[in-house]
Each structure stands twice: as structure tokens, then as C-alpha cells.
Chain A
């Protein structure tokens, strides 16, 4: 029996409407069940699970390193953030130190991921609300960032570039040229989007006062990321619980007090600018050195050294056939993904496979606030509210 709403006796004029899962503005396969009175939403519930893949069960039958490609496929718009969360959870479990160069490249790439993820959000959010051209501009810029991902990892989207203990390999020569070009041209592009939307009367009418969520409700419903900061809560894990060297970077947390769709829009636009600042700092101060930790029993040896060193060959054989054994224990590592708090809860029983690896998906939690945002509003606002919480269904269902 799919999820449904029962009609309330005495309200025969109300209509129960199923919206999705095949609906262009539900951003994947989200299904909403709405009870309508005229065009006003009286009650709303959501129905998910259409993309459930059982990642958490699959993690338990893979070694730690084999889990990394799975994480790409959860939040497929920000694969590198997921890689980072997973690797950092495993590194915390192992107590592994990461060399500075690897940390800085990680920061640089996850901030680029944040920009490209927000570009997809902005493009699709705008097209949902009728602003067609923004979508085309956003995807044009996003492609430039994906080219960089392709250059370093060989893949535009399913990168799997971060490894437990550092990076998969040193980025190719000249990769910073593309980053430099982005850093130079993107601020003007962000201005361009803003000229199209920020003071556009149609945009203002569609977003201001829509999807209101009070600060205390935002916390109670577990909202995180820009959706929480759009409600005036100054919480960013990068600032408050810094990881991967974020404390060394100078950036501002973009907090807005509007609490509505417009506030969250401004918060994300500002966040893109701040991310670009971090990218520039990471690029300019990029330290030299290795990109992998000095932990031969965990990190794969260089191909070349395997031809000359018997130890490297043995370690390679051990890592590939067996994996490594983290100490018994459990960790929870949270990072600030483009969507909010992405947490990996990893439990080790000392074997080479995680006993349990649970993903705290920001989209899954953020979705809970959706019925609260849309009840009492028009059906057209439903589309604005789905866009504003920026969910990725791959991550909601896992």
C-alpha cells in the first residue's frame, strides 16, 4: 500500500493529490501526497524510498577502501564531499594523520564541489519558478568545474578521488590553470545570476515569505546547512568544529535572518562566493609534499616501488586481498556538505570490513521540514519549497 492520506469527514470538497514520483520539479523521485482545498495545501506528507539501494548493508560486505565508490552514488551532485566524509571517518577510526598537501587539495576540491552543487540547485530552483535562462548559465559554469574533476580523477561525477590516508594520486601537471581561470571569472558570473534574480519582481513574489521556518523549528526538525543558516542560526561545521584544516582558511559564514525561500537563496549565493575565496586561498598557499599518509599497511604503495621493493609488493598484496584492521571502536564524523551535516557513523569490530556504517544524510533530515513549510500555502509554493531545501533523492533513500 503506497502512502496516502484519508479524507476527513465533513470536508468533501477537498481533493487528495499525489504529486510525483515522476514530476519534473520533485528533483528525482520524491512523491508528495497533498490534501487540497481549492489551491491551498491543507495537509501534506511525503513518500520516499523509490531509490533505496541498501548502501548501508552493502558497506558491511566491502572492505573500507571498497566503500568509497559507494559514497559517490549517494549524493551524486557532490561526490567529493561524500568521499571526504567517508575517508575522514575511517581515518578517525584508524587515528591516521593526513599530510598537509592532501588536506589542502581536499579542501580545494570540496569547495569546488560545493560551488557546482549550488549551481545545479540554483539552475533547477530557478527553472522550477519560471526563470529559464539561469538554468542554462548555471550548467555552463558547472561544466567548467566538472572538467577539473575529470582532469584529476578521470570522471566528471563519480570521482572516488579521495582515499583513506590521502588522495588517489597526485593531480596532473597544470591542473591549477583551470582552477585559476575559474577563480578569475566566476565572481562576475555570480553577479550575473544576481542581476537576473535578486531584485527580479517575479522572483521576489515567488520566494519572499514562502516556506517560512522559524529558527527554533529549524533546529527542532534537524535542518542543517544553508537551510538552517537561512533561518538565522549561525552554525557551520567548517567554522565550529573545523576538520581537514578549515581553521586555516579565512571565510565568512553566510547567515540570513529571512527564514524563507528568499533568505536561503541569498545564503547559498553568498556561500558560493565564500567557497571561491577558500578555493583561491587553497590554491595560493598549496603546500608541497606527499599526498598520501606514511602508513604502508593502509595506503596502497606506488606502482613503481612495487617493482623494486619486496615490502611494497607484500603490503600491496595484503591491502588488496585482505584490507586493513582498524581498532575496535566507533566514530561519528560530520562534515559540512553542500546540503548540510553529512555524518558517517562507523563501527569497527576489528575486521577489515565495517561492522556498521551509517550515513546521516542531510537531505533525509531536511525533508522533514517540508510539510511544515508548505501546509497552508498555495500548491505553486510546494515547488518553491522542494527546491529550497535542495534535496538529492539518492541521498534521501540511500
Chain B
């Protein structure tokens, strides 16, 4: 299992390109996850999209996890797909619970636009540089962020 991960072409290429970028790498049920250090995020995305042997040109999904009461509290999760090689890859960025914000991936994959708005809407994570950062499924005047773990699921508002 661990040997598989060490020979993962994306990990090898990424370590060569930016040795500091990958904080941690995990493999579970044959799915590969990289934890990316936030400052490197955009460069890593561009690299993964453009590197001719990887070609992660399709952003399948963006979502987040709330690990409350841990700190850093949030993990923003990107699911990438390479149509050329039929490989999938999961990127994660850790985001602090204090004034949560991270960089947007819209310049790399325009598809991130609506997905990141959804994360903002339901988790309250701001994406710096996003072209249209406002709620998407809830009304603008909604209070709180429903998918956070400390959001009450019963009782009166």
C-alpha cells in the first residue's frame, strides 16, 4: 500500500516540481489524497492541470469538511479527474476556523465557481479572488452556515 503511494506518478512529479507543497499523502481504498500547503495551492493546481503526463484537466468536485472542534477546523476538498489517463486525485487544503479563507481555484478550473460558492454558502469559507462570492442555494440573509458541525439541527431559531 505505502509502496504504491511512493511510486504515484503525480506525487513524484509534484515533489520534483515543488518539494515543500505536499504536506501529507494518504491512500485509502486505492484513492490518493494529497494535503497541499495553502500558499502553494494555485501553483500546484496549475501544474497538475498542465503537466503533460498528468493532465488533471477536469475538476469533478469541490467540497469541505468541518472537523470541529479540531484546529485547523476545515479541510477544503478538490476532486480532480484526468480524462486522458482516467485517473482521479483528491487534493485537500487545511483551513483555520478563525476567519476561514483560502485561495480560489477558478483561474485554473472555471468549474470551481459554483462549487466554491456552495462551500461558502454552507460552510462559510471565503475563497480569495473568487469572481462572485455570494450564497448560492440559501437566501442572502440566511444566518449561519448549515453544514458546520456546531449548527443546531433542532429547536427554534
Binary interface encoding of chain A residues 256-275 relative to chain B, with 1 for a CB under 8 A from any of its CBs, else 0: 00000000000000000000
**Chain A residue contacts of B58, Cβ below 8 A:** 219, 222
Contact B29 A92 (CB under 8 A): yes
Of A54, A222, A334, A355, which is in contact with the most chain B CB atoms at under 10 Å from its CB? A222
Known: A49-B136, A233-B83. A332 touches B88 (CB 8 A): yes
Interface residues, chain B, with chain A CB atoms under 8 Å away: 28-29, 31, 33, 57-61, 63, 65-66, 77, 79, 83, 86, 88, 90, 109-111, 113-115, 118, 122, 135-141, 146-147, 151, 153
Contact B59 A222 (CB under 8 A): yes
How distant is the Cα of A241 from the Cα of B137 in the complex, in angstroms?
A: 31
Known: A241-B86, A332-B31, A332-B90. A358 touches B146 (CB 8 A): no
Chain A minimum-CB-distance residue to B87: A241
CB distance from B115 to the nearest CB of A (A): 8
**Chain A residue contacts of B111, Cβ below 8 A:** 220-222, 365, 368
Chain B minimum-CB-distance residue to A217: B110
How distant is the Cα of A221 from the Cα of B136 in the complex, in angstroms?
A: 17
CB distance from A261 to the nearest CB of B (A): 21
- Residue of B59, B65, B110, B118 touching A347 (CB-CB under 8 A): B65
How distant is the Cα of A332 from the Cα of B32 in the complex, in angstroms?
A: 10
**Chain A residue contacts of B66, Cβ below 8 A:** 356
- Residue of B63, B110, B137 touching A220 (CB-CB under 8 A): B110
Judged by a CB distance under 8 angstroms, whether A183 is at the interface is no
Residues A314-371 near B (CB distance < 8 A): 329-332, 334, 341, 343, 345, 347, 355-356, 358, 360, 364-365, 367-368
Contact B65 A334 (CB under 8 A): no
CB distance from B19 to the nearest CB of A (A): 26
Judged by a CB distance under 8 angstroms, whether A52 is at the interface is yes
Known: A221-B110, A365-B114. A49 touches B90 (CB 8 A): no
Contact A220 B31 (CB under 8 A): no
Residues A218-242 near B (CB distance < 8 A): 219-222, 233, 235, 240-241
Judged by a CB distance under 8 angstroms, whether A61 is at the interface is yes
- Residue of B31, B77, B83, B136 touching A331 (CB-CB under 8 A): B31
Contact B83 A334 (CB under 8 A): no
**A-B interface pairs (CB < 8 A), number:** 90
Contact B79 A343 (CB under 8 A): yes
How distant is the Cα of A334 from the Cα of B115 in the complex, in angstroms?
A: 17
**Chain A residue contacts of B151, Cβ below 8 A:** 57
How distant is the Cα of A61 from the Cα of B149 in the complex, in angstroms?
A: 11
Judged by a CB distance under 8 angstroms, whether A95 is at the interface is yes
How distant is the Cα of A330 from the Cα of B28 in the complex, in angstroms?
A: 7
- Residue of A49, A219, A222 touching B137 (CB-CB under 8 A): A49
Contact B138 A49 (CB under 8 A): yes
How distant is the Cα of A48 from the Cα of B118 in the complex, in angstroms?
A: 11
Known: A54-B146, A57-B153, A360-B61. A1 touches B140 (CB 8 A): yes
Contact B147 A57 (CB under 8 A): yes
**Chain A residue contacts of B79, Cβ below 8 A:** 332, 343, 345, 360
**Chain B residue contacts of A221, Cβ below 8 A:** 110-111
How distant is the Cα of A241 from the Cα of B31 in the complex, in angstroms?
A: 13
**Chain A residue contacts of B60, Cβ below 8 A:** 222, 332, 334, 341, 343, 360
Known: A57-B146, A235-B83, A365-B111. A331 touches B29 (CB 8 A): yes
**Chain B residue contacts of A57, Cβ below 8 A:** 146-147, 151, 153
How distant is the Cα of A397 from the Cα of B77 in the complex, in angstroms?
A: 20
Judged by a CB distance under 8 angstroms, whether A294 is at the interface is no
**Chain A residue contacts of B118, Cβ below 8 A:** 364
Residues A282-305 near B (CB distance < 8 A): none
